[in-house]
Amino acid sequence: MLTIYHNPRCSKSRGCNTMLLDLGKEVKVINYMKELFTEESLQAVIDLLKIKPIDLVRKNEQEWKDYFKGTELSDSEVIKAMVKYPKLIQRPIVVNGDKAVIGRPLELVESIL
């Protein structure tokens, strides 16, 4: 079963969810704006993505600009920021077993199916 960390207000996230369902995939949908990440669960997803925490941040979001832009943050501090402000998290994130991708562009999702 695939897991999609989804923000229903995001068109790319909705499009990814629709694509997976259209492909007949069994999908567990987690609205991470309501089912919030913990620091540990977000770190686990980052580990699957094989990226630095800062690479998961949406730097154009107002919360980033207001509170963090221009500051040097440790990986732990970046994770804490995303947990506190989940809107900062890139989306959608699709997990398939021990593989994960940020589904932008959607074609990246095909690489883990």
Catalytic residue among 4, 10, 19, 93: 10
- For residues 76, 97, 12, 75, the Cα torsion angle rounded to the nearest 10 degrees is 10
Q: Are 97 and 64 in contact (CB under 8 A)?
A: no
Q: What is the pLDDT of residue 75?
A: 98
Peptide bond into 8 cis (omega under 30): no
User: What does the pLDDT look like over 81-100, one tens digit per residue?
Assistant: 999 999 999 999 999 999 99
Distance CA 3, CA 98 (A): 11
pLDDT 10s digits, 41-86:
999 999 999 999 999 999 999 999 999 999 999 999 999 999 999 9
* Amino acid 76: pLDDT: 98
Domain limits at 63? 2-110
Tell me the pLDDT tens digit for each residue of 74-83: 999 999 999 9
CATH number of the CATH domain containing 83: 3.40.30.10
Question: Quick one: CA dihedral 90, 11, 104, 112, positive or negative?
Answer: positive
Band of residue 111 on the pLDDT scale cut at 50, 70, 90: very high
Could you report the per-residue pLDDT of 98-109, keeping only the tens digit for each? 999 999 999 999
CA–chain centroid gap for 109, Å, is 13
Token output for 112: 């883990």
Give the per-residue pLDDT at 102: 97
Whether 10 sits among the annotated catalytic residues: the reply is: yes
User: Domains in the chain: how many in total?
Assistant: 1
